[in-house]
Amino acid sequence: MDRYRYFIFNQRNMVVLGLFQIAFSTVCVVSGFIDGVFRTESQLGKTRAPIWAGMVMGVPGVLALFSSQRKNPVLVNVLIVASIISCVAILIVIVYSSLTLNYGEEEELSSAPVHVIHTKFVLNKVVKGANVAMLAASVSSAFVVLVIAYLGCRSLPCCSCYDSVTGMVSEE
């Protein structure tokens, strides 16, 4: 009966959660590129942490799409581990975007021409917008990743809600 257990894994929910996770990861990577291109040079900005962390954040989304189609316990275990690693990457993005929201962008432009002042002002707002987008996407991604991990854990045979006789989830 154990092989029937993985049919309980709700395919529709995992596909939707996987797509949301990939979308949040894409927002993080694109905002990281914007942040990297338009930010004034700083040690923290040179790390390109949001780009790498955004790529790591997308792995559970891809695995959720695969695990919704193939009922494989090894794939579900890898999904759970990738979700935990993604939580660490999300924490990195949250810390980065919180620290760089105002870090390194205030410059003295009193002697610069007017068009340079306007350009710097617009680019400053673009970088702040990218940081806010990264922050919002990473917080939302944390919620989605935790739900993905929870659903993955519930579909494992070692889960306490699993009935080994019928192969069904006990609704409590």
The number of domains in the chain is 1
pLDDT value of position 127: 80
Q: Is residue 164 part of a domain?
A: no
Domain range for 148 = 1-155
The CA distance from 124 to 43, in Å, is 17
Instruction: Please state, in angstroms and rounded to a whole number, the distance separating the CA atoms of residues 74 and 78.
Output: 6
Please tell me the predicted confidence (pLDDT) of residue 1: 45
User: pLDDT at position 128, please?
Assistant: 84
pLDDT the model gives residue 70: 77
Q: Is residue 163 part of a domain?
A: no
Task: Answer whether residue 20 is part of any domain.
Answer: yes
Position 172 in a domain: no
| Mean pLDDT in order along the chain per 10 residues (172 residues) | 50 87 94 81 72 91 87 83 93 88 58 61 78 92 92 71 52 50
Classify residue 169: in a domain, yes or no: no
168 lies in some domain: no
Q: Is residue 166 part of a domain?
A: no
The predicted pLDDT at position 33 comes to: 87
Residue 60 belongs to a domain? yes
